[in-house]
Chain A
Amino acid sequence: MALKIVKGSIDRMFDKNLQDLVRGIRNHKEDEAKYISTCIDEIKQELKQDNIAVKANAVCKLTYLQMLGYDISWAAFNIVEVMSSSKFTYKRIGYLAASQCFHEGTDVIMLTTNQIRKDLSSPNQYDTGVALTGLSCFVTPDLARDLANDIMTLMSHTKPYIRKKAVLIMYKVFLKYPESLRPAFPRLKEKLEDPDPGVQSAAVNVICELARRNPKNYLSLAPLFFKLMTSSTNNWVLIKIIKLFGALTPLEPRLGKKLIEPLTNLIHSRLVITLHRASVEKNVCLIGLVLPIVCVCVCVSNAVLISLSSGMPNHSASIQLCVQKLRILIEDSDQNLKYLGLLAMSKILKTHPKSVQSHKDLILQCLDDKDESIRLRALDLLYGMVSKKNLMEIVKKLMLHVDKAEGTTYRDELLTKIIDICSQSNYQYITNFEWYISILVELTRLEGTRHGHLIASQMLDVAIRVKAIRGFAVAQMAMLLDSGHLLTGNMQRNGICEVLYAAAWICGEFSEHLDDPMQTLEAMLRPKVASLPGHIQAVYVQNAAKLFATVLQKHEGATDSQAAQDTSQLLIERLPLFVQSANLEVQERASCILQLVKYIQKLQQKDVEVAEEVSALFAGELNPVAPKAQKKVPVPEGLDLDAWINEPPSESESEDEKPKAVFAKEEPKQSRARHIEVDEKELARRREARKQEQANNPFYIKSSPSSQKVYQDAPGVEHIPVVQIDLSVPLKVPGMPMSEQYLKLEEERRQKERADKKKKDKKKKKREKRGKGKRDDSGPESEEDITPAHQVDIVTEEMPENALPSDDDDKDPNDPHKALDIDLDKYVPSAENTLHKVTVCMLHAEKQGDLSITRHFLV
Chain B
Amino acid sequence: MIKFLLMINKQGQTRLSKYYDHVDVGKRAALEANVVKCCLFRKKEECSFVEYKDYKLVYRQYAALFIVVGITDDENELSIYELVHNFIEVLDKYFNRVTQIMFNLDKVHIMLDEMILNGCIVETNKNRILAPLLALDKMAES
- Overall SS of chain A's interface: helix
B28 pairs with A69, CB closer than 8 A: yes
Please report the C-alpha to C-alpha distance between residue A4 and residue B123 in the assembled complex, in whole angstroms: 49
Please name all residues of chain B whose beta carbon is closer than 8 Å to the beta carbon of A287 when the two chains form the complex: 78
Q: Whole-angstrom distance from the CB of B29 to the nearest CB of chain A?
A: 5
Query: Is B25 close to A, CB under 8 A?
Result: yes
Interface-located stretch among B47-55, B61-69, B89-97: B47-55
B123 pairs with A88, CB closer than 8 A: no
B120 pairs with A285, CB closer than 8 A: no
Q: Whole-angstrom distance from the CB of A83 to the nearest CB of chain B?
A: 14
Interface-located stretch among A371-379, A420-428, A492-500, A811-819: A371-379
A285 pairs with B79, CB closer than 8 A: yes
Please name all residues of chain A whose beta carbon is closer than 8 Å to the beta carbon of B106 when the two chains form the complex: 18, 60, 63-64, 92-93, 96
Query: Is B88 close to A, CB under 8 A?
Result: no
Given A64-B105, A68-B14, A171-B118, also A96-B78 (CB < 8 A): no
Please name all residues of chain B whose beta carbon is closer than 8 Å to the beta carbon of A96 when the two chains form the complex: 106, 109-110, 113
Given A68-B14, A126-B135, also A339-B22 (CB < 8 A): no
Q: Whole-angstrom distance from the CB of A703 to the nearest CB of chain B?
A: 26
Q: Whole-angstrom distance from the CB of B88 to the nearest CB of chain A?
A: 13
Interface-located stretch among A161-169, A606-614, A832-840: A161-169
A291 pairs with B76, CB closer than 8 A: yes
Please report the C-alpha to C-alpha distance between residue A373 and residue B117 in the assembled complex, in whole angstroms: 29
CB 8 Å contact bits of A170-186 with B (1 = contact, 0 = none): 01100000000000000
Given A67-B17, A239-B79, A285-B82, also A370-B103 (CB < 8 A): no
A288 pairs with B50, CB closer than 8 A: no
Interface-located stretch among A129-137, A458-466, A547-555: A129-137
Given A129-B132, A136-B117, also A165-B78 (CB < 8 A): no
Could you say which of A19, A129, A284, A338 contacts B81, with CB atoms under 8 Å apart? A284
B122 pairs with A164, CB closer than 8 A: yes
B102 pairs with A22, CB closer than 8 A: yes
A371 pairs with B47, CB closer than 8 A: yes
Q: Whole-angstrom distance from the CB of A87 to the nearest CB of chain B?
A: 8
A205 pairs with B120, CB closer than 8 A: yes
Please report the C-alpha to C-alpha distance between residue A126 and residue B50 in the assembled complex, in whole angstroms: 37
Please report the C-alpha to C-alpha distance between residue A63 and residue B109 in the assembled complex, in whole angstroms: 10
Please report the C-alpha to C-alpha distance between residue A285 and residue B124 in the assembled complex, in whole angstroms: 13
Query: Is A768 close to B, CB under 8 A?
Result: no
Nearest B residue to A67, CB-CB: B17
Q: Whole-angstrom distance from the CB of A606 to the nearest CB of chain B?
A: 65
Nearest A residue to B123, CB-CB: A198
B25 pairs with A339, CB closer than 8 A: no
A18 pairs with B105, CB closer than 8 A: yes
Please report the C-alpha to C-alpha distance between residue A339 and residue B122 in the assembled complex, in whole angstroms: 27
Please report the C-alpha to C-alpha distance between residue A371 and residue B81 in the assembled complex, in whole angstroms: 18
- State which residues 15-30 of B face A: CB under 8 Å: 16-18, 20, 22, 25, 28-29
Q: Whole-angstrom distance from the CB of B71 to the nearest CB of chain A?
A: 13
Could you say which of A88, A239, A371 contacts B136, with CB atoms under 8 Å apart? A88
Please name all residues of chain B whose beta carbon is closer than 8 Å to the beta carbon of A202 when the two chains form the complex: 120, 122
Given A96-B109, A133-B117, A136-B117, also A339-B76 (CB < 8 A): no
Please name all residues of chain A whose beta carbon is closer than 8 Å to the beta carbon of B117 when the two chains form the complex: 132-133, 136, 165, 168-169
B47 pairs with A338, CB closer than 8 A: yes
A126 pairs with B132, CB closer than 8 A: yes
A336 pairs with B118, CB closer than 8 A: no
Nearest A residue to B48, CB-CB: A336
Query: Is A825 close to B, CB under 8 A?
Result: no
B49 pairs with A236, CB closer than 8 A: no
Query: Is B139 close to A, CB under 8 A?
Result: yes
Query: Is A335 close to B, CB under 8 A?
Result: yes
Please name all residues of chain A whose beta carbon is closer than 8 Å to the beta carbon of B135 when the two chains form the complex: 126
Please name all residues of chain B whose beta carbon is closer than 8 Å to the beta carbon of A198 when the two chains form the complex: 122-123, 128
Q: Whole-angstrom distance from the CB of A812 to the nearest CB of chain B?
A: 14
Query: Is A190 close to B, CB under 8 A?
Result: no
CB 8 Å contact bits of B128-142 with A (1 = contact, 0 = none): 100010011001100
Query: Is A9 close to B, CB under 8 A?
Result: no
Query: Is A340 close to B, CB under 8 A?
Result: yes
Query: Is A327 close to B, CB under 8 A?
Result: no
B76 pairs with A239, CB closer than 8 A: yes
Please name all residues of chain B whose beta carbon is closer than 8 Å to the beta carbon of A103 when the two chains form the complex: 22
B46 pairs with A164, CB closer than 8 A: no
Nearest A residue to B140, CB-CB: A89
Could you say which of A60, A67, A88, A373 contacts B50, with CB atoms under 8 Å apart? A373
Please report the C-alpha to C-alpha distance between residue A335 and residue B45 in the assembled complex, in whole angstroms: 7
Please report the C-alpha to C-alpha distance between residue A773 and residue B63 in the assembled complex, in whole angstroms: 61
Ordered by A's residue number, 8 sampled pairs between the chains whose C-beta atoms are within 8 Å are: A67-B14, A67-B105, A88-B139, A126-B132, A136-B117, A205-B120, A209-B1, A292-B76
Extra 11 A-B pairs, beta carbons < 8 Å, given A168-B117, A198-B128, A373-B49? A67-B14, A96-B106, A99-B113, A103-B22, A129-B132, A202-B122, A205-B121, A236-B124, A285-B82, A336-B47, A336-B81
User: What is B's interface to A at a CB cutoff of 8 Å?
Assistant: 1, 14, 16-18, 20, 22, 25, 28-29, 43, 45-51, 74, 76-79, 81-82, 102-106, 109-110, 113-114, 117-118, 120-124, 128, 132, 135-136, 139-140
Those 6 A-B pairs whose CB atoms lie nearest each other, nearest first? A288-B78, A335-B47, A136-B118, A371-B46, A133-B113, A339-B47
